[in-house]
Homo-oligomer: A and B are copies of this chain.
């Protein structure tokens, strides 16, 4: 699996593990929600600085984005669809 595919899969896995929506992660990291979505679909080639911002927002180590992923593992379950209600 190419490195950007590994990053994509791990970003999604870790984000869902933390129970965070793409929208809230984007807000916490100060980046655009569509960029988070594109990262998880392997459509971006992020820099170390972007990965660091995401790792800080998820409270994980940046190295976790590069952990080996079983390509045959089922994709992680989704969070409930739809935007969160405004708080």
Measured between beta carbons, the chain B residues less than 8 angstroms from A4 are: 48-49, 52
The distance from the CB of A22 to the nearest CB of chain B, in whole angstroms, is 19
Interface residues of A in 5-46 (CB under 8 A from B): 7, 45-46
Measured between beta carbons, the chain B residues less than 8 angstroms from A66 are: 61-63, 66
The number of residues on chain A lying at the interface, defined by a beta carbon within 8 Å of a beta carbon of chain B, is 17
Complex-state Cα separation, A14 to B9, whole angstroms: 26
Interface residues of A (CB under 8 A from B): 2-4, 7, 45-49, 51-52, 55, 61-63, 66-67
Complex-state Cα separation, A3 to B65, whole angstroms: 13
| Shortest 8 CB-CB contacts between residues of A and residues of B | A63-B66, A3-B52, A45-B47, A45-B49, A63-B63, A3-B48, A62-B66, A4-B48
